[in-house]
Structure formats: structure tokens, C-alpha cells
Amino acid sequence: MVQKLIELALRNRLIVLLIAGGLFAYGIYSIQKNPIDAIPDLSENQVIVFTEWMGRSPQVIEDQVTYPLVSNLQGIPKIKNIRGSSMFGMSFVYVIFEDNVDIYWARTRVLERLNFAQRLLPQGVTPSLGPDGTGVGHIYWYHLDAPKMDLGEQRALQDWYIKFALQTVPGVAEVASFGGFEKQYQLIVDPVKLQYYNISLMDVMNKVKANNNDVGGRKFEMADMAYIIRGLGYIKNKEDVENIALSNYNGIPVRVKDIGSVQMGGDLRLGIFDMDGKGEVVGGIVVMRYGENANKVIEAVKEKMKEVEKGLPEGVAFKTSYDRSTLIQEAIQSVKGTLIEEMIAVSIVVLIFLFHWRSALIILIQLPISVAAGFIFLQMFGISSNIMSLTGIALAIGVVVDDGIVMVENAYRHISEAQTKKLDSSINSDHGKVV
């Protein structure tokens, strides 16, 4: 079989050269289209379900949120494992799918089950899916350099301006904010006054919630004129909260400011972000979407940040905390330099030892074609160009050269044997004529 293939290739050398040229050209195309990253994505094929129920203990979260979710998600097909984690006020459920499952198909199946499991959860508790990223999706970290702004103002700027702008970049799954304070109205209630006015804490909560709402309206006609009447109830400042009526005492309205005080403060924090011991900072983490080119996404994020920076307040600028593109470029340049050095060294050694340029050309022409074919398979199997895959290609160069040397040596051996037989036959023939 092998001999027939060799004979077929020798009889159709032009076709073989065209096939080799086509492989090389498609390999170059694959190099340009193949995603580039510093490290391979070896994370599990998972979908994260996040549920928030602030103020509850981990045991309550486990019993009323995590356990019902895990129990109802177990029937989804092609699942390897389900892991649940409960902590103060939060629940995480990790649904691990088989490696060959499409991530977006998996997210759709999980979302279908969540619609059913919603009825088993406490009122007001709604689970949500995590970003469609991976364990190595954190490609870029940044923080704000704003010495004239407090942490609350920086966090508001990050959450309501910068985050929304960066999420529009193609390939970005999520921009997670960190640091600072999320502003909130804080009501400090005097229990003695609650008891005096016979008002429960739940009544206060319900009244405040009901008054922070738009009740809608209708059209009112009077004197051939039509008027749109609306009830605008959204809280705009601290005074709006203080003037909310809770009840009445002897015909006199009891307002929020009568039973406590209202102040502007920050939400509960589980940690802080310190920058090199210089103080707290506010910033964001850019999470890359599954299967995207990390290097291109980072470049697009940087370009978008240049546009966003124009709309920032005076004295506010971006500072880079972590940039994977630097690691990517260094890794690629290191492996690329190694590949070029290997090819040059192998070429010189082959030329010196064989001392025959045609034979050396036969061996050396395999190197670029083999490397290009390697990138074809990388793209075919969805493997990015990273330090591990490129190192594997570099190590394979020695094997390719060894195979080429063996093939050339074998060809020369057969040619030498054929020439020896022809020479012996010619000598014997001449010897017979002389006799």
C-alpha cells in the first residue's frame, strides 16, 4: 500500500506540490484566524447560577435556596456534576456539563429549569445565570485614578457609565465592578418610638417600598382639554424618605423622620481593594466571552477605554491593574523566536552533514508545511495558540527533521544499491565481450 502511494506521488509530482502549497496557504490562514492566548483554557464546561438573598445565614441559604436549585437541576441531560456553595446572603450552583456540549445550549437548558424551580424559592428570591465566560476569562483589570472623588462617587461612575460602555465591546461577557461603596439610603429606627406609635418594623419597610414606586395614571378630560395624570413616587433625595407617612397618631400623620433618622451611606462590603498599600481604589474586571480571541478583545477594550475617558470628569483617568496581552505577546514572541532559531539551526546542521542542497531542501521544506498543518489542526479542534500548543509544535520540529533524514537516507540507499547493481551488470557484460 505504501509503495503504491509513493509510486502514485512520483507519477503525479505536480499534484503533490499543489497539495503541499494548498496546505501551506491554508495553514497561514489558520494562523491568522486562530485565537491567541497566553495559557490554554482547561476550565470545566460549566454554567453558574447565582442567587442573592441578603441578610440570611449560610444554613438558611443552603436549606431554602441551594438545595431546591440543585435538586431541580439534576435532570438536565449531559451533566457530569452539580456543585453547590452557600454563604452569607448568597448561593452559587455550578452545573458541570460534558466537554463536547455547546455552552449556549447548556445555558438554555439551565434557564428552562430555573423557570420551573422559581416557584420553590422564597418570595422575592430570583436566581440568575453567571456570565458566559470561563475560569481564565479575566483578561483585563483596571482602576480609576480619581484623587478628588470619594469612593462612593467613583463607584457610581464605574457602575452607571464605564461598565455599560465597556460591555458593548464585542467579545466581552461582563464587566465586574470592585471597590468603593454602593450608595444607599439608610434608615436608623428608634425602637422606643416604634413602640410608642405602635408601628412595626415590617410596616416601615412596606411603606418605604410602596412610596418608592411609580403608580402610573390615566387621562383626565376637563373643558375640552385632556390631561395626563401620573403618580411619580420614586425617591430622589433624603427628604423624600423622611416625609413618607407611616401611620397616624391621634389624627396626626407619623412620618419616617418621627421614628428615626435617614442618612446616605454605603452598602455592606465583604472586602476592599487596596492598590500597592496606597489606599482603596475602584475599578472593574473585564471577563471575556467563551471561545473569543483574548488578544483582540483586550485591544478592543483599550480602544473603547480611550473613547470613554473623554467623558470622564476632570482629573479622572484609567490605570491598568492587570493586562494579559503583555503576557500573551511575551509568550508568543518567546515561542516564535524558538521556532525560528530551531529552523535555522536545523537547516545549517542538515546542510553541513549532507552537503547536498537538494537533499537538504527536501528535509527543510517539510518544516514550514508541517508547522502550517499543525495550525490547521489547532483551528479544527478549537485550540488556541498558546504557550503550550506552540511549545508542542516547536518540539515536533526535531521529529519532522528526523523523519526527513531517514527518508532521504533510505532513498539514497536504494539509489546506491540500484547503481551498484547496474555497474556490476555493466562490468560483467563488458568482461564477457572481452573473453
* Residue from 9, 321, 280, 267 nearest 140 by CA: 321
Same domain, 24 and 49: no
Q: What is the pLDDT of residues 176-207, one digit of tens each?
A: 999 888 888 889 999 999 999 999 999 998 88
Flag whether 161 is in a domain: no
Same domain, 57 and 117: yes
Same domain, 333 and 403: yes
Rounded Cα distance between 275 and 258, Å, is: 43
Flag whether 365 is in a domain: yes
- pLDDT surpassing 60 at residue 435: no
**CB 70: neighbour CB atoms within 10 A?**
19
* Residue from 389, 384, 394, 388 nearest 34 by CA: 384
Q: What is the pLDDT of residues 143-153, one digit of tens each?
A: 999 988 988 89
Flag whether 288 is in a domain: no
Q: CB–CB of 215/231 below 8 Å?
A: yes
What is the share, in percent, of the chain residues with pLDDT greater than 90? Answer: 38
Q: What is the pLDDT of residues 52-111, one digit of tens each?
A: 998 889 999 999 999 999 999 988 999 999 999 999 889 999 999 998 899 999 999 999
- Which sign, positive or negative, has the C-alpha torsion 426, 430, 433, 435? negative
Instruction: Output 320-324 pairs: Cβ under 8 A, ≥24 positions apart.
Output: 320/140, 320/141, 320/142, 321/141, 321/142, 321/143, 321/275, 321/283, 322/138, 322/140, 322/141, 323/140, 323/141, 323/298, 324/37, 324/38, 324/139, 324/140, 324/294, 324/298
| Residue matched to cell numbers 509530482 | 13
Rounded Cα distance between 326 and 337, Å, is: 16
Flag whether 338 is in a domain: yes
- pLDDT surpassing 90 at residue 359: no
* Residue from 362, 7, 326, 4 nearest 141 by CA: 326
109, 133, 157 - which closes a domain: 133
Q: CB–CB of 252/239 below 8 Å?
A: no
Count up the domains in the chain and report the number.
3
* Domain encompassing residue 93: 44-133
Same domain, 68 and 100: yes
Rounded Cα distance between 95 and 101, Å, is: 12
Rounded Cα distance between 174 and 288, Å, is: 7
- pLDDT surpassing 70 at residue 230: no
Supply the angle between the helices 324-354 and 294-309 in degrees, to the nearest 10: 140
Flag whether 410 is in a domain: yes
Q: What is the pLDDT of residues 128-144, one digit of tens each?
A: 999 888 878 889 999 99
pLDDT of residue 432: 55
Buried b / exposed e along 248-278 (16+ C-beta atoms within 10 A): eeeeeebebebbbebeeeeeeeeeeeeeeee
- Which sign, positive or negative, has the C-alpha torsion 115, 116, 117, 119? positive
Task: Kindly report the CATH number assigned to the domain that includes residue 205.
Answer: 3.30.2090.10
- Mean pLDDT to the nearest integer, 291-315: 92
Task: Kindly report the CATH number assigned to the domain that includes residue 13.
Answer: 1.20.1640.10
Task: Kindly report the CATH number assigned to the domain that includes residue 66.
Answer: 3.30.70.1430
- Mean pLDDT to the nearest integer, 313-335: 87
245, 266, 287 - which closes a domain: 266
pLDDT of residue 431: 57
Find the helix or strand (DSSP H, E) in which 95 lies.
Answer: strand 90-97
133, 168, 203 - which closes a domain: 133
